[in-house]
Amino acid sequence: MSPGMTAYQIDLDPVHSVVRLTVTAEVMTLEMAQEIHTRLAYLSSLGKTYSAIFDLSAVKCTTIPVAVIRGYGRRSASVPMGHKHVIVGQHQRYSDWLACSRCVGRP
């Protein structure tokens, strides 16, 4: 990612009550995941419920530890359920995703 570029974008369509997250980074970091969760939770706290589209198709791997990912599953959702949620991403074995050469520093 170039300096000054964000690794994700959040779009809100208040007319249709849809929030869309598009992640453009190839590596999902813990810091990015926390920032996304915080921003989406803020939007949700404004009192309106939204459908959500999460486009993670550019993400190839993560540096987030497995225990932290499990912990995210126990947290309250950043965009509460009640409306439809769609997640778009590449299908990979989870072990391949975690061991991505980019994340562990191999060429």
Average pLDDT over residues 29-51: 88
85: part of which helix (H) or strand (E)? Answer: strand 85-88
Question: Looking at residue 51, which CATH number applies to its domain?
Answer: 3.30.750
**By residue range, what is the domain housing residue 40?**
8-97
Q: What is the pLDDT of residues 56-104, one digit of tens each?
A: 999 888 888 888 888 887 877 777 677 787 888 876 655 555 555 455 4
Coil, helix or strand at residue 51: strand
The answer as to whether 68 is a domain residue is yes
Q: Is 65 inside any structural domain? A: yes
Residue 80 lies in a domain: yes
Flag whether 16 is in a domain. Answer: yes
Residue 103: inside a domain: no
Q: Is the pLDDT of residue 9 over 90?
A: yes
Segment holding 8, helix H or strand E: strand 8-13
- CA 24 from centroid of its chain's CA atoms: 10
Please give the Cα distance from 62 to 49 (Å, whole number). Answer: 29
Q: How many domains does the chain have?
A: 1
pLDDT (tens digit per residue) in 77-89: 777 677 787 888 8
Domain assignment present for residue 102? The answer is no
Of the candidates 63, 62, 57, 61, the residue with the CA atom closest to the CA atom of residue 90: 57
- 76 domain-assigned: yes
